[in-house]
Structure formats: structure tokens, C-alpha cells
Amino acid sequence: MKVAIMGAGMAGLSCAITLEKHGITPMIFESRSRVGDRFINSEAMFNILNRPVKDTIEHISENYHINMDPIDRVKKLTIHSKNEIGNIEGKIGYTNIRGRHNDSYESQLARQVKSKINFNSTYDYPYLCKHFDNVVLATGDGQYAAGIGNYKCDLTVTIKGATVEGNFVTSNPHVWFNYDVIPKGYIWVIPFSEKEGNIVIAYPDYPDNIKLDIEVMWEKAYNLVSKDLKQNFKITDKFEITRYMMGICNKAKLDNTYFVGNCFGTISPGLGFGQFVAVLTGVYAAYDICNIGVYEELTKPLFENYNHSLTLRRFLESQTNEQMDANIKNLDNRILDSIIDKICDNENGIDLMKLSTPVIRLWNNYKEYSNNR
């Protein structure tokens, strides 16, 4: 059986590893000259966003025998609003490196692949479709799926980030929801060592935001982070991504084409995380090709997760700075704080996203109704 994988990123490589374990050697086509050949950044995986899974990295290793070595466990997530700071503590998740780095997740996955990766590939999807029995679309965006009418784009996002030198606690990422600085978006600080980390802003491309000057927003965000973390960060690298698509395909599989990773819609619109689901979709596509599972069935819960996450985004967007302050202040309340810590910890599998979605949806509908009156 001839299988083409288009894209040697997290989803494509996870698919290749799984196919090989079941005796199929895929042909992998990668447009870049090496795996992860782009800026280096740090990312995170939070267990709470991927329930019922308790521990994402353990889950991938134990169930699919794919090994990913993170930078550190996240033991504390610090959340800043305009006037408040709160913490979620426990075994929350992991941080990791991406891109052109020997320890990036894609580099680690590539070392577990035996099949040849054809770099600098210029083959397009129609060509692969004609010449292979199965095509796994893993190009890291929804463009191809959208091009064949199989993708619902809910929003696009502008992302600007920098690698900075400073002092970091690798187990403690930070996030800011300050809508004076980044309207309807957020700032992340994710360390990738004790001396280096990323400061990243991400905001939706809504008309009011497009009018704003990205350089001014970035400068404000950088100053806010420097002030709150009491440091003079030295910028050593910068990156910018425009119109990063957040959406999901209508059908996970069309004929013999599998949509995996961001081509499927793994990026969760709530907080912008997609790595864990990228791996899952790669594995699930391989299962279908090997007749171990049915891709459409395996991916069903992922559509549900996506919708919960979209509800969360709409909720976050509907909040004012004052409401965000009130939400974050609750993390300081001793009883609430310990409940939230317990829910987010990987010792229990409570699906907060699923449980809270109906309530959040009611709130979103109420806000929409009052805005339209």
C-alpha cells in the first residue's frame, strides 16, 4: 500500500511512526529543507484541555509508544489580569521546544521515524492524490482543507513573539489577559531554560484589532511583562505570523485523504494549543490505514473538544478587564483556589471544559442577546 504523508511536523511524523510500527513504510514529503526548519519557540501542553486524559505525555508514551521529552513539568501557571494575579498549582502539564532545535518535539519525533523524509518537496496535494493509495495531509494549516471546501474557519489570529534572555523558572509559565494591551487576546511567557524564554502576543484579526499597530501592541506587551516580572529582558530573536487559521474540517477523511494536525483542526481556539491533538490525529489516521480503527469514529471526541474550546474563546472575548480581574481574584480565594488546583492537577480526570461548556454557552448567549438589543 502506497501512503504519502504531506508535512513532517508533529502530526505527520506521529502518523509515520505509527504506520511503521504496523509494517507500513510511508513516503514523507516535507517542503522545508529539514524538520522544524523555522524559528525556535517554547510551547506548552496542559492536561486539563485534553480530558479525559490525565497526563498527556504519559498517555502518548504508554498508549502509542511515541516518546517526547519535555523541558519541564508545569507546576505553576501564573495568570495576570489588568489588576490581579492568580496561580494554578499542581501537576498541570508540560513545556517543550519547537522548531530548529535538536530537542524540539519535531526533531525528537523525526529521530523515531525510519522512513525517508523527502525534503524540499514541491509536490502538491493533487499530485500525491493521483499517485498514492492514501494521502495524509499534515501541512500545519487549514489551507488545503479550505481549498476543497472541507474547512470551517472560526477566526484567524496574528501572533508576534520574541526569544528573550532573562531569569526564568522553567516549571512556571505566565499568561496575561489585559484587554487594554491585547484586545480579546493574550500574552504568554513560556520559558525554555532558566535563562531563555518566549514572550508571545496573540490576538484575533477582528476589524477593531486590525486597525491597531502591531508594533505598538508588542511594545506595550513587552513593557508589561518586563514590569510584572521585574526584569530587563534582552531580545535575541523575533517572529511574526499573520492570519493563523483556527478552524476545523467538516470531515476528518474524504475518500482516501486524511486531514491531520492543524489540517484537521487541532488548534484549540480557546488558548491556541494544538500539539497533543496533532499527535492523536496522526496516530488515528495511521490506525485507520492499518485497519485498527476508524478515523471518523476516533476523531469524534476531538470535534467536541474543539467546540468546547471555541465556547471558551467566545467567553474570554466577552469579558471586560474588570470581569477578568474578578475571575482571577477568585484564584486567591483559599477554598476556590484549592478546588481549581485539584481539577487542573493530573491526579484526577475531571473534564472541566466539558462540564463548564453549557454554563459558559448560556453566558455567551446572554451577552450576545444583550449586545444585539
CA 34 vs. chain centroid, Å, equals 22
Q: In angstroms, what is the minimal distance from the CB of 146 to ligand FAD?
A: 14
If one asks whether residue 8 binds ligand FAD (CB under 6 A), the answer comes out as yes
Q: In angstroms, what is the minimal distance from the CB of 278 to ligand FAD?
A: 4
Amino acid at site 148: I
If one asks whether residue 278 binds ligand FAD (CB under 6 A), the answer comes out as yes
Q: How far apart are CA 326 and CA 82, in angstroms?
A: 10
For ligand FAD, which residue of 257, 262, 311, 364 counts as binding (CB under 6 A)? 262
| DSSP E strand boundaries for 48-195 | 72-81, 85-98, 117-118, 134-137, 151-165, 174-177, 186-191
Specify the residue, 158 or 364, whose C-beta has the smaller distance to ligand FAD.
158
DSSP label at 234?
Answer: E
For ligand FAD, which residue of 31, 156, 321, 327 counts as binding (CB under 6 A)? 31
Q: Which of these, 236, 79, 98, lies nearest to 173 by C-alpha position?
A: 79
For ligand FAD, which residue of 3, 4, 6, 328 counts as binding (CB under 6 A)? 6
User: Rule CB under 6 A: which of 76-135 touch ligand FAD?
Assistant: 106, 121
How far from 57 is each of 71, 72, 92, 93, 173, CA to CA, in Å?
A: 12, 11, 12, 8, 18
What is the three-class DSSP state of 180?
coil
Q: In angstroms, what is the minimal distance from the CB of 141 to ligand FAD?
A: 7
Q: In angstroms, what is the minimal distance from the CB of 200 to ligand FAD?
A: 6
Specify the residue, 199 or 328, whose C-beta has the smaller distance to ligand FAD.
199
Specify the residue, 144 or 315, whose C-beta has the smaller distance to ligand FAD.
144
State the first-to-last Cα distance of the chain, in angstroms, to the nearest integer.
59
For ligand FAD, which residue of 7, 86, 204, 247 counts as binding (CB under 6 A)? 7
User: Cell numbers at residue 232, please?
Assistant: 530587563
Binding residues (CB under 6 A) for ligand FAD: these are 6-12, 29-32, 41, 43-45, 106, 121, 138-140, 159, 161, 200, 241, 244, 261-262, 266-267, 272-275, 278
